[in-house]
Amino acid sequence: MIRFEAVSKIFATNKKQTPAVSHVSLSIAQGEIYGIIGFSGAGKSTLLRLVNLLETPSSGKIIVGGQDITALKPRELRRLRRRIGMIFQTFNLFNARTVFGNIAYPLKLAGTPKAQIKTRVGELLRFVGLEDKADHYPEQLSGGQKQRVGIARALATSPDILICDEATSALDPETTGDILKLLKRVNEAYGITILLITHEMHVIRSICDRVAVMENGKVIEEGSVYEIFASPKHPTTANFIRSVQNDQLSPKLLETLKSKHQGKLFRLVFKGGTTSEPVLSRAARLHNVDFNIIYGSIQELKGQLFGSLIVEFQPADEPSSVDRLVAQLAQTVEVREVIDHES
Ligand SMILES: Nc1ncnc2c1ncn2[C@@H]1O[C@H](COP(=O)(O)OP(=O)(O)OP(=O)(O)O)[C@@H](O)[C@H]1O
Q: Residues 158-207: pLDDT tens digits?
A: 999 999 999 999 999 999 999 999 999 999 999 999 999 999 999 999 99
Helix 143-155 and helix 114-127: axis angle, to 10°?
130
Going from the C-alpha of 321 to that of each of 52, 67, 279, 314, the distances in angstroms are 62, 63, 16, 9
Residues 250 and 242: beta-carbon distance below 8 Å? no
Ligand 1 centroid vs 299 CA: distance in angstroms? 35
Assigned CATH for 2-244: 3.40.50.300
Please, how many CA atoms are within 13 Å of residue 208, restricted to the half-sphere of its CB? 29
11 lines ligand 1 (CB under 6 A): yes
Describe the chain by its helix, strand, coil percentages, rounded to 5. Answer: 40, 30, 30
Ligand 1 centroid vs 11 CA: distance in angstroms? 9
Q: What does the pLDDT average to over 286-309?
A: 84
| Alpha-carbon gap, residue 220 to 22, rounded angstroms | 11
How many CB atoms within 10 Å of residue 68?
12
Q: In 3D, which of 82, 123, 77 has the Cα closest to residue 103?
A: 123
Q: Say if domain 251-337 classifies as CATH 3.30.70.260.
A: yes
Ligand 1 centroid vs 164 CA: distance in angstroms? 16
Q: Which of 18, 37, 51, 88 to mutate to test the pocket of ligand 1 (most atoms within 8 A of CB)?
A: 18
DSSP letter assigned to residue 250: P
pLDDT band at 306 (very low <50, low <70, confident <90, very high): confident
Coil/strand/helix, residue 16: strand
94 lines ligand 1 (CB under 6 A): no
| Domains of the chain, residue spans | 2-244, 251-337
Going from the C-alpha of 224 to that of each of 34, 48, 165, 204, the distances in angstroms are 9, 19, 20, 10
pLDDT digits (tens, 9 = 90+) for 81-103: 889 999 999 999 999 999 999 99
pLDDT band at 245 (very low <50, low <70, confident <90, very high): confident
Q: What is the pLDDT of residue 224?
A: 95
Predicted TM-score (pTM) of the model is: 0.85
Asked whether residue 217 carries a pLDDT value surpassing 60, the answer given is yes
Q: Which atom number of ligand 1 is nearest to the Cα of residue 39?
A: 21
pLDDT digits (tens, 9 = 90+) for 53-75: 999 999 999 999 999 999 899 99
42 lines ligand 1 (CB under 6 A): yes
Coil/strand/helix, residue 124: helix
